[in-house]
Amino acid sequence: MAKMNMLQAINNALDLAMAKDSTVVCFGEDVGHFGGVFRATSKLQEKYGKDRCFNTPLTEQGIAGFANGMAAQGMKPVAEIQFADYIFPAFDQIVNETAKFRYRSGNEFNVGGLVFRTPYGGGIAGGHYHSQSPEAYFAHTPGLKVIVPRDPYQAKGLLLASIASEDPVIFFEPKKLYRASTGEVPEDYYEIPLGVAEVMQEGKDVTVLAWGAQIEICQKAIEMAAAKGISCELIDLRSILPWDVDTVVKSVLKTGRLVINHEAPLTGGFAGEIAATIQQRCFLHLESPIARVCGLDTPYPLALEREYVADHLKTFEAIVASVQF
Which candidate in 80, 97, 130, 135 is catalytic?
130
- Cβ proximity to other proteins: between 242 and 299 the closer is 299
Task: Tell me whether residue 130 is one of the annotated catalytic residues.
Answer: yes
What are the respective helix, strand and coil percentages of the chain, to the nearest 5?
Answer: 40, 20, 40
- Cβ proximity to other proteins: between 192 and 294 the closer is 294
How far apart are CB 52 and other proteins at their closest, in Å? 15
CA dihedral of 113, 116, 121, 127, whole degrees rounded to 10: 180
Which candidate in 60, 97, 135, 216 is catalytic?
60
CA dihedral of 314, 306, 120, 16, whole degrees rounded to 10: -80
CA dihedral of 40, 200, 249, 119, whole degrees rounded to 10: -20
How far apart are CB 89 and other proteins at their closest, in Å? 6
How far apart are CB 307 and other proteins at their closest, in Å? 6
Q: Say how far apart CA 261 and CA 232 lie, in whole Å.
A: 14
Q: Say how far apart CA 319 and CA 325 lie, in whole Å.
A: 10
- Cβ proximity to other proteins: between 126 and 152 the closer is 126
For 136, residues 6+ apart whose C-beta sits below 8 A from its C-beta are: 264, 268, 269, 270
Task: Tell me whether residue 60 is one of the annotated catalytic residues.
Answer: yes
- The residues that touch other proteins, with contacts defined as CB under 8 A, are 29-30, 32-35, 37, 55, 57-62, 85-86, 88-89, 125-130, 266-267, 296-299, 301-304, 306-308, 311, 313-314, 317
How far apart are CB 57 and other proteins at their closest, in Å? 4
> Nearest Cα to 90, choosing from 59, 122, 49?
59
- Cβ proximity to other proteins: between 105 and 298 the closer is 298
Provide the annotated active-site residues.
60, 130
